[in-house]
Amino acid sequence: MLRSVASRLGSAVCSAARTNVQRTCAVTQVRYRHDVEESAEEFDNRYEAFFNRQDVDGWDIRKAMNDLQGLDLVPEPRIIVAALKACRRVNDYALAVRYMEAVQNKCGDKVGEIWPYLRQEIKPTLDELGILTPEEMGYDKPELAVEDVMDM
Amino acid sequence: MLRSLTRTALRQGARISHRAIATTAVRPADASDLTIQEREQIYPKLGNRDIVGYGFNGNPVYIDREEWPAPAVRFRENTAEVQALRAKEQGDWKALTLEEKKGLYRASFRQTYAEMTAPTGEWKTVIAGLLLGLSFTGWVLIWMKTCVYPPMPRTITKEWQVAQAERMVKQRQGAVLGISSQWDYEKNEWK
C-alpha cells in the first residue's frame, strides 16, 4: 500500500513539476538582454510606435506619458505629435493639453529655447486637431488660486 | 479510498503550484464593471468618477505632481454637464469653445502646471519664523547674562592681562622658549 502511494506520489510530483517547468518557460519567450543599449533613435521610434498603435487606450497613453515624464529627456516633437493624435483617438482633449504642459515643465529652465521649437514642430498637428497650446488656453499663468492640498 | 484521496490531494496541490507560478499582468477591472456595493466597498471615496489609469502602485488616486502628468482618476465627478462636454468632445475639437475646453480640462485635472508651480510666498513665513526664533534666543541670552551668571572675573580685562605679561617678563618666566625670550631687555621692547 505504502509503496503504491509512494510511487503514485512520485510520479504525480514529477508530472506536476514538468508541467510547471513548461509553463514557466512558456512565460518568458522574450529574452531581455542587458548588453544592448537602445539608441536615442530607437527610443524615439519605440515611443512613437507605442502612441501610434491603433488600439492604444487611455491607460496606455497615461502610462507612456508618466514614464516619459520620469526620464531625463524632453520628448522629440514626433513623439509629442503621436501622443496628441493618440489623445484624439481616445477623445481626451484635457490629456492633450496636460501633456503639452508636462513637456513644457520637462524643458526646465531652457523652456524659452526648447518650447518655441517644439511648438513650431507640433503646430500643424495642433491646427489639424483643434488643440490649443497651454498659452492659448491661458494656462501659462496660474488661472485659479486653489488651495494647496497640504494646507487643507 | 486512500488512493482516490491521494489523487485528489495531489491534483489540488498541483493546481496551487500552477496558480502560484502563472502570473499574468491583469488590468484591474474598470470601476464601471463593478456593482454599486462593490464600488462603494473598494473605492469608498471614488464617487461617480472614472478610473482612467493605473495610478501609484495600482492605487487609483488623484494627485497633481509635475513628474506625474496623468493621474489615475479624473478629478471631477461625471455630472450631467461634464457628460455633455464629453459627448461634444467626441466630435471635432475645433467646434469646442475655449470655455468648453477649459471645462474639459478642469473635469480631468484640478490644477494646471502653472498653478502647481506657482510661488506660494511661504518663504516669508519661514524667514519670519526663523528670525523670531533667533530673536527669542537673543533675549534668553540677555536674560542669562543679567540674571543668572555671576559677574565676570576681574582677570578678564585687557589691563590685567597686560600687567600680568609685564610681570612675567620682569620675573624672566620662560627665558628660553617662553614669553621672556621674546623680550629684548637691553632695548626694553618686544623683539
HEC readout, A121-147: HHHHHHHHHCCCCHHHHCCCCCCCCCC
> At residue A106, does pLDDT exceed 80?
yes
Range of the domain at B172: 153-191
Residues 44-83 of A with CB under 8 A from B: 58-59, 61-63, 65-66, 69-70
- Same domain? B77 vs B51: yes
B118 alpha-carbon distance from chain centroid: 17
Report yes or no: A93 at the B interface, CB cutoff 8 Å. yes
Half-sphere exposure of residue A83: CA atoms within 13 angstroms, side-chain side: 32
User: Cα(B185)–Cα(B191) distance, rounded to whole angstroms?
Assistant: 9
Contact A58 B120 (CB under 8 A): no
Are B97 and B133 members of one domain? Answer: no
Count: domains in chain B: 3
Question: How many CB pairs below 8 A link A and B?
Answer: 135
Task: State which H helix or E strand residue A97 sits in.
Answer: helix A93-106
Determine contact, residues A143/B115, Cβ cutoff 8 Å.
yes
Q: How far apart are CA B13 and CA B171, in angstroms?
A: 100
Contact B113 A134 (CB under 8 A): yes
> Which residues, other chains included, contact B155 with Cβ-Cβ below 8 Å and sequence gap of 6+?
B161, B164
- Mean pLDDT on B14-19: 49
B191 and B179 within one domain: yes
Percent of chain A exceeding pLDDT 70 equals 80
Predicted local confidence at residue A53, as pLDDT: 94
Q: Which of B22, B66, B112 sits opposite A143 (nearest CB)?
A: B112
**Cα–Cα distance for residue pair B66/B52, rounded to 1 Å:** 18
Domain stops at, among B98, B117, B136: B117
B-chain residues near A26 (CB < 8 A): none
Per-residue confidence (pLDDT) for residue B163, from 0 to 100 = 95
Nearest CA in chain B to A92: B89
Across the interface, whether the CB atoms of B54 and A104 are under 8 A apart is answered no
Is A16 touching B (CB cutoff 8 A)? yes
Instruction: With CB atoms and an 8 Å threshold, state whether B112 touches A70.
Output: no
Task: Please tell me whether residues B14 and B56 are part of one structural domain.
Answer: yes
Q: Are B49 and B73 in contact (CB under 8 A)?
A: yes
DSSP A66: H
According to DSSP, the residues that pair with B56 across neighbouring strands are B59
Domain boundaries, chain A: 40-137
* Inter-chain CB proximity A144 and B13 less than 8 Å: no
Range 77-136 of B in CB contact (< 8 A) with A: 86, 89-90, 92-96, 98, 101-102, 104-105, 107-115, 117-118, 120
Q: What is the pLDDT of residue A146?
A: 85
Per the CB < 8 A criterion, the answer to whether A97 and B101 are in contact is: yes
Interface pTM (ipTM) of the complex?
Answer: 0.74
The confidence score (pLDDT) of residue B26 equals 44
pLDDT tens per residue, range B66-84: 999 999 999 999 999 999 9
Q: Is B16 on the interface with A (CB under 8 A)?
A: no
Do residues B28 and B90 both lie within one domain? yes
Q: What is the mean pLDDT of residues A19-25?
A: 52
Collapse the DSSP code of A75 into the 3-class scheme (helix H, G, I; strand E, B; otherwise coil) and give the result: coil
pLDDT tens-digit map of B103-142: 999 999 999 999 999 998 889 999 999 999 999 999 999 9
HEC-encoded secondary structure of chain B: CHHHHHHHHHHHHHHHHHHHHCCCCCCCCCHHHCCHHHHHHHCCCCCCCCECCCCECCECCCCCECCECCCCECCCCCCHHHHHHHHHHCCCHHHCCHHHHHHHHHHHCCCCHHHHHCCCCHHHHHHHHHHHHHHHHHHHHHHHHHHHCCCCCHHHCHHHHHHHHHHHHHCCCCCCCCHHHHEECCCCEEC
C-alpha cell at A85: 493624435
Residue B105 placed within a domain: yes
pLDDT in tens, B40-62: 888 888 888 888 998 888 888 89
Q: Which residues of A touch B98 (CB under 8 A)?
A: 132, 137-138
* B2 contact A CB<8A: yes
CATH 1.25.40.40 fits domain A40-137: yes
Please report whether residue B64 resides in a domain: yes
> What span, in angstroms and rounded, lies between the C-alpha atoms of A118 and B165?
77
| B112 and B34 assigned to the same domain | yes
- Give the span between the Cα atoms of B21 and B15, in whole angstroms: 10
The reply to whether B2 falls in a domain is no
- Identify whether B1 is part of a domain: no
Q: Are residues B190 and B132 in the same domain?
A: no
